[in-house]
Structure 1
Amino acid sequence: MVAGGILIVNEEVLLVYHEKLKKWLYPGGHVEINETPREAAIREFKEETGLDVEVYGEKNNLSTDEATEEPKPLAIMNEIVKYPNETHIHYDLIFLVKLKGGTLINGKWFKREEIDKIDTYSNVKKILKHAFSFNNNFILS
């Protein structure tokens, strides 16, 4: 299982260049043992960009004393990833994130109009377009 985050600030999305895949992607990576997908998305974002983020998303107010509800991912994708020397499946939870702090050490900002020109996968382009429309209609707390 993998988790990633999409950060949109001032109508631009932050992407990182994946050296093995030779594509631009939203920051993310494998969920580690004893880590939730939300925690993995936050950790991976910090490791890959230097930025501190917080996951946000819809909740149904289902938390109780016994269980805490997590923000819903923007998308859940079952992907076949073809690395140069191997192919494997990623069950990918993609979250919207908002900036908390940190200093950008890696990544590039892309405008909404540039999505179709980005060297990435078609599903990533589709998810990014969805994120822009969802982000504009989502009220941050």
Structure 2
Amino acid sequence: MNEDLISQIKEVVTAENQEKLIKIIQLLESSNYELRGKINPDLQLSASALVFKEDKLFFIEHPYQKELLLPAGHVELKESPLDTAIREFHEETGFFAKKMGKLVDVNLIDIPFNETKNEKKHQHIDFRYLLELEEQEAELAELPFFLLELEEAPEEFKKYYRYKNI
């Protein structure tokens, strides 16, 4: 069921992230549920967009967690994680990304209980894609967004600045 996702993850395994990615692959191999579309209440797929404008990376203010995160969201049924990253980047920032991207990381994220949405604590397997900004006028953004330089970025995202000139 998750063979396509596993093969994508295997393409980004390095000595630095091997242990983490093996754990994620094992979760995918053992899952009997469809992980797209929020069907599984315990483990879901999400995708994040890494988009630079010059030396600055786009971040959004998460509406519930009230922290700066990459533009991201749940992978919908019949949607690829790459398509999700492109869609969510546009929805959350109003800007457009080109319809191609490079998977650069995959993370297992613990999502806390959300009282507002009455969603129980769960985990996301988050696919992170480097996307290229399209040069066209932005539309209305769903969320407050910020363009941050390396020094301003939350610590967990600083490692992604190595991709800014790729």
8 Å CA contact 1:56–1:97 kept in 2: the answer is yes
8 Å CA contact 2:55–2:164 kept in 1: the answer is no
Secondary structure of the structure 1 residue equivalent to 2:164: helix
Give the C-alpha shift of residue 132 in structure 1: 0.8
8 Å CA contact 2:82–2:101 kept in 1: the answer is no
Give the C-alpha shift of residue 6 in structure 1: 1.0
Which residue does the alignment assign to 2:145?
A: 107
Which residue does the alignment assign to 1:90?
A: 124
Residues 110-133 of structure 1, C-alpha deviations (whole Å, 9 max, x = no match): 111112xx4xxxxxx33x222211
Higher strand share: 1
Secondary structure of the structure 2 residue equivalent to 1:74: strand
Normalising by structure 1, we get a TM-score of 0.73
Gaps of 5+ in 2: 1-44
Normalising by structure 2, we get a TM-score of 0.62
Gaps of 5+ in 1: 58-72, 119-124
- Alpha-carbon separation, structure 2, partners of 1:56 and 1:41: 9
What is the identity percentage for the equivalent residue pairs of Structure 1 and Structure 2?
26
8 Å CA contact 1:15–1:110 kept in 2: the answer is yes
Tell me the matched-pair count. Answer: 113
Higher helix share: 2
> What is the Cα-based RMSD across aligned positions, in Å?
1.6
8 Å CA contact 1:96–1:131 kept in 2: the answer is no
- Bigger RCO (CA 8 Å, 6+ sep): 1
8 Å CA contact 2:104–2:129 kept in 1: the answer is yes
